[in-house]
Amino acid sequence: MAELSHWQKIIVPQRKKDTGCVPTGFEWLIRYQDIKGIDLANFQDEFDRTAQKRGDNSFDSVATEVKQKYSHVSIQVKGFDKAEDKIASIKDFITKDIPCLLSFPTYVTLCPCSLCFHMVPVVFIDDTKMKIICDADKDGNQTCDLLINNVICWHNIFKGGNDIAWLPKTVHP
């Protein structure tokens, strides 16, 4: 069993429910690691590529834009062929108190075979489940549990959602 040390103290409401989960998640990672020198008041709006009509909000595309503006913020992204390797990496990060984001399917869109993914912080993991922050408002975090077996199944069945993002511990300016 592993749990992030102070996740309950980091509350980051998502401003744009339909497009902004990646910039919201990245803001959450930055706040968790207490990185200074970032305009967090405008972070979600500035890095919501979809809302700004600059492309998609993938982990890679948003991480690249964040790094271009804030060179001291190096959000890492890794895709996994095997679900078990992804779960092992998440467990390793949480054990080391390194926050990470999971991409998981949330619902099927009106387009046939099109799936929407939600990117969320993982705050707890054991051998059977992980706890994620599925939503937040000014009063706190709303969490839910995902069964590890379901996460493995989604990874193996659906195209997409096979990557994670994390922010390594660094010396901050």
Handedness of CA 115, 24, 55, 58 (dihedral sign): negative
When pLDDT is averaged across residues 25-45 and rounded to a whole number, the result is 96
**8-166 in CATH: which number?**
3.90.70.30
Give the pTM: 0.91
C-alpha triplet 131, 56, 134: angle, nearest 5°: 15
In sequence order, the 6+-apart residues with CB closer than 8 A to the CB of 15 are 24, 44, 45
- 155-168: pLDDT as tens digits: 998 877 899 999 99
Amino acid letter for position 36: K
In sequence order, the 6+-apart residues with CB closer than 8 A to the CB of 157 are none
Q: Give the confidence band of 70 by pLDDT, cuts at 50, 70, 90.
A: very high
In three-state secondary structure terms, 56 is: coil
- Residue 81 is predicted with a pLDDT of 96
- 73-84: pLDDT as tens digits: 999 999 999 999
- Residue 157 is predicted with a pLDDT of 86
More confident residue, 97 or 58: 97
Residue 145 has pLDDT above 80, yes or no: yes
Residue 173 has pLDDT above 70, yes or no: no
- Cα dihedral 6/9/15/20 (nearest 10): 0
- 93-122: pLDDT as tens digits: 999 999 999 998 876 555 555 567 889 999
